[in-house]
Amino acid sequence: MPQQYSVLFLPDNVTVQVEAGESIFRAASRAGIELKSTCGNKGTCGRCAIKIKEGKVRTQEGNIGARLRRTGHVLACQTLVAGDVVVEVPKDSRLDEHQVLLAGRADQGELVEKELDLLEGYAFEPVGQKVYVELPPPTLTGNATDLNRLEIELRKKVPAGHFHIGLNNLRRLAEVVRAGDWKVSATLAHMDGLTEIVDLKPGSSSTQAYGLAIDIGTTTVVVYLVDLNTGATVDQRGGYNKQARYGDDVISRIIRATENGGLNELHTAVITTINELVEKLVQRNKIDRADISVVVVAANTTMTHMFLGLPPKYIRLEPYIPTASEFPPVKAGELNLAINPDAWVLCFPAVASYMGGDIVAGVLATRLAESDALTLFIDIGTNGEMVLGNRDWMISCSCSAGPAFEGGGITFGMRAMKGAIERATIDPQTYEVEVQAISGYRPIGICGSGLIDLLAKLRRAGLIDRTGQFTRDTVTPRLRQTDEDTEFVLVWGSETECGKDIVITESDIKNILRSKGAVFAGIQSLLKAVQLDVHDIDRLLIAGGFGNYLNIHDAIQIGLLPDLPVEKYAFVGNTSVKGAKLALLSRPALEAAQELARKMTYLELSAGSSFMDEFVSALFLPHTDLSLFPSVKN
């Protein structure tokens, strides 16, 4: 057996035993300390910096910033234990307490999230239900089997040709009916036209029946605990997708999944994420996890594949073919979900490799396909996914927005969590800057919506030109030249949490331009494909975590979103989890989702050349074609 060493983490004061040669990153993970990483522990993102206070390690430099190197930091993923070690974990390197978008937007600006009446127009027919029945006790002449007698009584309350029952419950049946003195509560799940008995309890004591609606995002996972009797969301929890340690975006995770054992790691990571959220929901609400009998999951195609343990390899390789877009129902036990092992787990159908069930859920929840109004639905993350259509047709596309809007590839980029700069004002005379960070914290970095705001303000103050370059004739100590780049200081180190100057560089700005350009080019490509114009759009629905803090005016200013009246815009929040909840509560809605996915045309942007033309035209502020943005002053 390899030598064992202890690793003590400070300031947490947690010790774990590890084998010689284990990385500090893994040791931290086992100690319950989640470090930042977006490169899959390859040493290239430079986010998992830690300090070795004592002890022997073997370390490789990796891509660690000069400042951190000077202060004696090393990358946790590149540092291997070679003796008993004491490690100090800086706040900057931690995947911190955060705000995950559970449902919608807290009022942040001019637009309030549109409330959706989820069930409107759909019958309340939950996928799962609990039924209490009393069986006639058997006699020598009335000697039907336990299963027969149960079915007869169930059929009186629930129309079904035949009740399926799995081996687990069949093995328990004889004792359950006798323990309850021939009274029994059966949890049923309805799907594919079948009704299955997924749980049995003696007597009538338990009438609770729960389902889970889950949104698995690349970044965050949200779980609703839904009461199937009332349709109410009893409670909800959100958290980071633990797959984050294997990379920030779906592509790096797909690459990881293709490595030996990688798929299993990613599968386990997302299942663990969900199980921890469920654990909290179960404990906080004091429910029996066996009473959770159905789960509906909405996620992008890659996340759905990893959730089910399907290899995502070919999603990344041209011609981008997923294993499936309609996923068979599976048992919770097959996935090691810590609920009733016989619970059914349903995944929203996808449209294509880069148009997933999360968007289908959004279309379902927002009734896009039930309206005469021409609607553009946009969900911006590392991918910008959008659907254009009405009750007659739908066309969709996905463009690679890159990680900039989620803080990736930006010097001081970060997610929308405490300490993230989300608003800035720049005095056009003095170039003095005032920033506003989330929760009023001292600034740590800049989140996506902050970057959009900042870009709009830098342009308005004349600090950058239409190509995103700093105007070289501006004289302010905030604008300075480093060895590699030109940068503008937003907050001086004396006022930041980390003590460093928070800057935005010219490269950062180029990255944001590429992101916003990709999204706008996607919108233009969709419109062109159906020979329509921006002005034909009746309403724009902004979904997802990014929309939560987005300022529409800023977004129009930089040319991210079409220059249409703000009244046409609506924030619809996390429509992925809302759609999942709707399908959980209404079997007709679940069936409608299948139809929606089939009906939605997917425009593969890489298949034609027009997207690249649109993209290049959109790399300006706001656009090369200024007629598209009449309201933006230049």
Using CB under 8 A as the binding rule, whether residue 160 contacts a second copy is answered as no
The C-alpha atoms of residue 269 and residue 263 are separated, in whole angstroms, by: 10
Identify the CA nearest to 604 among candidates 359, 381, 352: 352
Q: Which of 2, 70, 115, 141 binds a second copy (CB under 8 A)?
A: 141
Using CB under 8 A as the binding rule, whether residue 259 contacts a second copy is answered as no
Q: Which of 28, 77, 154, 165 binds a second copy (CB under 8 A)?
A: 165
The C-alpha atoms of residue 279 and residue 58 are separated, in whole angstroms, by: 38
Using CB under 8 A as the binding rule, whether residue 260 contacts a second copy is answered as no
* DSSP strand pairing (194-202 vs 163-165): parallel
Q: Which of 6, 251, 314, 553 binds a second copy (CB under 8 A)?
A: 314
Using CB under 8 A as the binding rule, whether residue 148 contacts a second copy is answered as yes
Q: Which of 155, 313, 528, 599 binds a second copy (CB under 8 A)?
A: 313
Shortest gap between Cβ of 527 and a second copy (angstroms)? 21
- Give the number of other Cβ atoms within 10 Å of residue 255's Cβ: 16
Shortest gap between Cβ of 377 and a second copy (angstroms)? 22
The C-alpha atoms of residue 186 and residue 129 are separated, in whole angstroms, by: 8
Shortest gap between Cβ of 355 and a second copy (angstroms)? 11
The C-alpha atoms of residue 92 and residue 229 are separated, in whole angstroms, by: 45
Using CB under 8 A as the binding rule, whether residue 199 contacts a second copy is answered as no
For 135-196, where are the alpha helices, taking DSSP H only? 146-157, 167-179
Element (H, E) at 240: strand 233-240
Q: Which of 108, 323, 411, 617 binds a second copy (CB under 8 A)?
A: 323
Is residue 33 within 8 Å of 24, Cβ to Cβ?
A: no
Stretch that binds a second copy, among 19-27, 157-165, 236-244, 373-381 (CB under 8 A): 157-165
Shortest gap between Cβ of 332 and a second copy (angstroms)? 12
Strands of 553-610, DSSP E:
569-573, 601-602
Stretch that binds a second copy, among 42-50, 171-179, 252-260, 284-292 (CB under 8 A): 171-179
The C-alpha atoms of residue 625 and residue 500 are separated, in whole angstroms, by: 39
Identify the CA nearest to 375 among candidates 541, 523, 519, 563: 541
Q: Which of 97, 117, 120, 140 binds a second copy (CB under 8 A)?
A: 140
The C-alpha atoms of residue 41 and residue 243 are separated, in whole angstroms, by: 12
Is residue 392 within 8 Å of 369, Cβ to Cβ?
A: no
Q: Which of 11, 261, 319, 440 binds a second copy (CB under 8 A)?
A: 319
Dihedral pair phi/psi, residue 38, rounded to 5° = -130, 10
Q: How many residues bind a second copy (CB under 8 A)?
A: 47
Using CB under 8 A as the binding rule, whether residue 352 contacts a second copy is answered as yes
Using CB under 8 A as the binding rule, whether residue 90 contacts a second copy is answered as no
Site for a second copy in 585-614 (CB under 8 A): 604, 606-607
Q: Which two three-digit tokens encode residue 471? A: 């105007």
User: Of 166 and 203, which CB lies nearer to a second copy in the complex structure?
Assistant: 166
- Cα-based torsion angle of the residue sequence 243, 245, 248, 250 in order, rounded to the nearest 10 degrees: -40
Shortest gap between Cβ of 589 and a second copy (angstroms)? 20
Shortest gap between Cβ of 577 and a second copy (angstroms)? 24
User: Of 128 and 341, which CB lies nearer to a second copy in the complex structure?
Assistant: 341
Stretch that binds a second copy, among 94-102, 132-140, 390-398, 609-617 (CB under 8 A): 132-140
Which residue has 């789960």 as its token pair?
295
Q: Which of 65, 90, 109, 166 binds a second copy (CB under 8 A)?
A: 166
- Give the number of other Cβ atoms within 10 Å of residue 378's Cβ: 26
Which residue has 């997933």 as its token pair?
356
Element (H, E) at 226: strand 220-227
Shortest gap between Cβ of 190 and a second copy (angstroms)? 16
> Cα separations (Å) of 406 from 180, 348, 449, 617?
54, 25, 9, 23
Using CB under 8 A as the binding rule, whether residue 155 contacts a second copy is answered as no
Using CB under 8 A as the binding rule, whether residue 634 contacts a second copy is answered as no
Stretch that binds a second copy, among 52-60, 96-104, 136-144, 615-623 (CB under 8 A): 136-144
User: Of 107 and 334, which CB lies nearer to a second copy in the complex structure?
Assistant: 334
Is residue 240 within 8 Å of 37, Cβ to Cβ?
A: no
- Give the number of other Cβ atoms within 10 Å of residue 578's Cβ: 27
Q: Which of 110, 134, 181, 326 binds a second copy (CB under 8 A)?
A: 326
Identify the CA nearest to 160 among candidates 118, 190, 199: 190
Stretch that binds a second copy, among 95-103, 320-328, 541-549, 560-568 (CB under 8 A): 320-328
* 181: amino acid identity, one letter: D
Using CB under 8 A as the binding rule, whether residue 310 contacts a second copy is answered as yes
* 502: amino acid identity, one letter: I
Q: Which of 94, 114, 164, 599 binds a second copy (CB under 8 A)?
A: 164
Shortest gap between Cβ of 158 and a second copy (angstroms)? 18
The C-alpha atoms of residue 257 and residue 271 are separated, in whole angstroms, by: 15
Stretch that binds a second copy, among 48-56, 305-313, 356-364, 539-547 (CB under 8 A): 305-313
Using CB under 8 A as the binding rule, whether residue 84 contacts a second copy is answered as no
Shortest gap between Cβ of 418 and a second copy (angstroms)? 40
The C-alpha atoms of residue 10 and residue 91 are separated, in whole angstroms, by: 11
Beta partners for residue 307, in sequence order: none
Positions in the binding site for a second copy (CB under 8 A): 138-148, 162, 164-167, 170-171, 173-175, 178, 192, 308-311, 313-314, 318-328, 330, 334, 352-353, 604, 606-607
